[in-house]
């Protein structure tokens, strides 16, 4: 079976507001201002509106023109995204709130700047009515807008985010050679850590543009925003200027050190290095229709490249031009995604999520490149002029480097499979004391006379906030001899997502009943027989040498479930455990390697396994024994990372 590299998660900026900021905002009424320079309603149709989570009130309801329908998503950080189809100038968003006469929604308005989400307005709705309210801001050029919700104040408070209507107002982009609105490549791609080489300048000395000049640079026709407004076009003619070490012209990005000042080099045997690029070949030169679209370069020569020859798309290895054929019927303009994942002396090359080949490579002078590197010149391609060229359009480009400590010895599923940047709700535990209350809920109440304690699992002992503490970069959940233990719920509910946790456990006492460590997705509804439960890490002894998973089907009154076991895994040592949940399947990973995969499975006693409506991450050290006689234990977590 071919290895699957799941779809990459989108990087975003801006997360949930701090609790102190929320408290301050609750004391101040935000009065919507009158719209200015809002020329027309450019709200997209329902099929271009998505959400991070929703109940039965789906995202399309927010743009149907009907104030009696709504989108509702639970959780601090739930979002509603509107894809505009092309780059537009946006200066106003109108919101209508469910129960808006009693509730003040707390929210941020964000736009996509090509590499992340940027907040342009934060505040509250008025709480005085259910009609549309206008929120204006300095005009921005973007192809996507997002409502990021932080619950509501007013008639009580809660973490539901409910909108009956959303409208986006501004000026639509024009579909012309100017790129539809965005004028600079840096507004489409994050070029902070790159330089560009162009097929212009003196012979053997082509033009190179570095940061910070690159942020304000474009060149027509060789390096510019594409007609759609959300791509960057790279073009290199056969008669273009070449570098001293090549006879072929290029319009190509070269990876640099952070900030773009110096050329980077990294080792293929230390840490993990990943580049993911979504691109399309859009034009080939005559006679020799060969173009390179992405590559890893080392020292004085390329290591491996993605190379199109006519309709044949190849992965090369060193001087072996035809190492691995991806497809022999590529059509110009077809967008694809390629990822290089480099670690432990190996290069894994993925195409549209599938592992195509693994190359052995050991070198310390590597760097990534992407763009159009035309493999033709005036000696083998005619006519010899600027109208004979190779061209590539890049839609998205991300690069990550993680050293051995950060990456868990190169064994993160997120890095290996290109999941992108973690969401703000993730936690590196780089603080001291109780867990961050913005990210985690802990037990409350006074069960047994101690503040912050609940009754334990199935009535056994207690779950207490005091038993979850962060120190020296590690969260430790402690299980005591008397049955007191810890429990955490992440403040993020969603349908679908990806979670990865670095953890280990151990018994710290000589004898007694054993604690039960778990990482699980628990249904938002609290009704696991109705909505399912995903126990993707579960084992019955902190000193175990195997890991188990129990996948509970939704719509299953008899609690139908599947059990998986993976051995050997020394659970007293650090490992990276990951879980992927998509509309099609659920997948588990240990140290970056898949160990179970499930899809569908419905019958008369159960629903499809992946159909939980909404859920959240819990980390638990469960007491299955009672109020005394337990063997003390610790469940340690190095970090928790969440991806869209």
pLDDT attached to residue 18: 33
The domains found in the chain, sorted by start residue, are 40-172 (2.60.120.260), 185-402 (2.60.120.200), 413-643 (2.60.120.200)
pLDDT attached to residue 356: 94
pLDDT attached to residue 421: 83
Question: Distance between CA 576 and CA 414 in Å, rounded?
Answer: 10
Residues 551-555: contacts with CB under 8 Å, at least 24 apart:
551/586, 551/596, 551/598, 551/609, 552/528, 553/601, 553/602, 553/606, 553/607, 553/608, 553/609, 554/530, 554/606, 554/607, 554/608, 554/609, 554/611, 554/612, 554/613, 555/530, 555/602, 555/606, 555/607, 555/611
Cα angle 545, 548, 549; round to 5: 160
Determine what percent of the chain falls in helix, strand and coil, rounding each to the nearest 5.
5, 50, 45
pLDDT attached to residue 482: 92
pLDDT attached to residue 174: 57
Query: Model pTM?
Result: 0.48
Question: Distance between CA 126 and CA 103 in Å, rounded?
Answer: 8
The stretches in the chain having pLDDT less than 50 are 1-38, 175-181, 405-410
Residue 501's nearest CA partner among 623, 638, 597, 338 is 638
């Amino acid at each position: 079976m071919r290895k699957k590299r799941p779809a990459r998660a989108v990087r975003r900026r801006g997360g949930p507001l701090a609790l102190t900021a929320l408290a301050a905002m609750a004391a101040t009424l935000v009065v919507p201002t009158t719209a200015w320079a809002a020329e027309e309603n450019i709200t997209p149709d329902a099929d271009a509106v998505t959400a991070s989570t929703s109940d039965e009130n789906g995202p399309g309801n927010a743009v149907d023109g009907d104030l009696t329908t709504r989108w509702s998503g639970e959780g601090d950080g739930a979002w509603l995204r509107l894809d505009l189809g092309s780059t537009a100038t946006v200066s106003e968003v109108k919101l209508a709130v469910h129960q808006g006469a009693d509730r003040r929604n707390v929210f941020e308005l964000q736009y996509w700047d090509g590499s992340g989400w940027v907040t342009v307005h934060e505040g509250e709705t008025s709480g005085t009515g259910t009609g549309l309210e206008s929120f204006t801001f300095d005009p921005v050029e973007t192809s996507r807008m997002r409502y990021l919700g932080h619950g509501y104040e007013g008639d009580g408070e809660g973490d539901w985010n409910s909108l009956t209507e959303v409208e986006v107002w501004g000026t639509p982009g024009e579909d012309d050679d100017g790129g539809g609105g965005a004028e600079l490549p840096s507004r489409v791609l994050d070029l902070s850590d790159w330089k560009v080489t162009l097929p212009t300048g003196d012979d053997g000395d082509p033009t190179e543009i570095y940061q910070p000049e690159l942020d304000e640079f474009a060149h027509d026709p060789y390096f510019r925003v594409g007609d759609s407004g959300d791509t960057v076009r790279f073009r290199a003619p056969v008669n273009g200027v070449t570098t001293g070490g090549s006879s072929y012209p290029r319009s190509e990005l070269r990876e640099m050190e952070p900030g773009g000042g110096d050329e980077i080099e990294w080792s293929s045997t230390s840490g993990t290095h990943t580049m993911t690029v979504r691109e399309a070949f859009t034009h080939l030169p005559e006679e020799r229709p060969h173009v390179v679209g992405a590559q890893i370069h080392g020292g004085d020569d390329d290591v491996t490249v993605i190379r199109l020859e006519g309709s044949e798309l190849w992965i090369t290895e060193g001087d072996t031009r035809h190492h691995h054929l991806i497809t022999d019927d590529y059509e110009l303009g077809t967008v694809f995604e390629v990822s290089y994942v480099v670690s432990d002396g190996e290069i894994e090359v993925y195409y549209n999520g599938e592992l195509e080949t693994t190359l052995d490579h050991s070198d310390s002078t590597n760097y990534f490149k992407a763009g159009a590197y035309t493999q033709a010149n005036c000696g083998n391609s005619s006519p010899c002029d600027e109208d004979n060229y190779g061209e590539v359009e890049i839609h998205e480009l991300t690069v990550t480097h993680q050293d051995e400590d950060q990456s868990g010895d190169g064994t993160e599923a997120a890095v290996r499979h290109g999941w992108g940047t973690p969401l703000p709700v993730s936690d590196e535990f780089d603080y001291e004391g109780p867990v961050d209350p913005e990210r985690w809920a802990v037990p409350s109440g006074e069960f047994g006379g101690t503040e912050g304690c609940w009754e334990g699992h199935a009535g056994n002992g207690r779950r207490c906030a005091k038993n979850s503490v962060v120190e020296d970069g590690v969260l430790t959940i402690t299980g005591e001899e008397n049955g007191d233990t810890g429990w955490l719920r992440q403040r993020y509910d969603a349908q679908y997502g990806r979670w990865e946790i670095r953890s280990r456990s151990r018994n710290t006492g000589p004898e007694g009943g054993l604690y039960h460590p778990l990482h699980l997705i628990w249904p938002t509804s609290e009704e696991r027989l109705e909505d399912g439960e995903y126990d993707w890490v579960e084992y019955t002894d902190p000193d175990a040498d195997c890991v188990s998973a129990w996948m509970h089907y939704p719509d299953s009154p008899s609690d139908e479930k599947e059990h998986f076991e993976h051995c050997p895994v020394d659970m007293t040592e650090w490992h990276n455990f990951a879980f992927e949940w998509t509309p099609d399947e659920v997948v588990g990973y240990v140290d970056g390697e898949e160990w179970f995969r499930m899809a569908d499975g419905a019958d008369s006693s159960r629903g499809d396994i992946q159909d939980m409506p909404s859920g959240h991450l819990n980390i638990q050290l469960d007491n299955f024994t009672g109020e005394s006689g337990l063997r003390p234990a610790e469940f340690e977590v190095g970090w928790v990372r969440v991806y869209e």
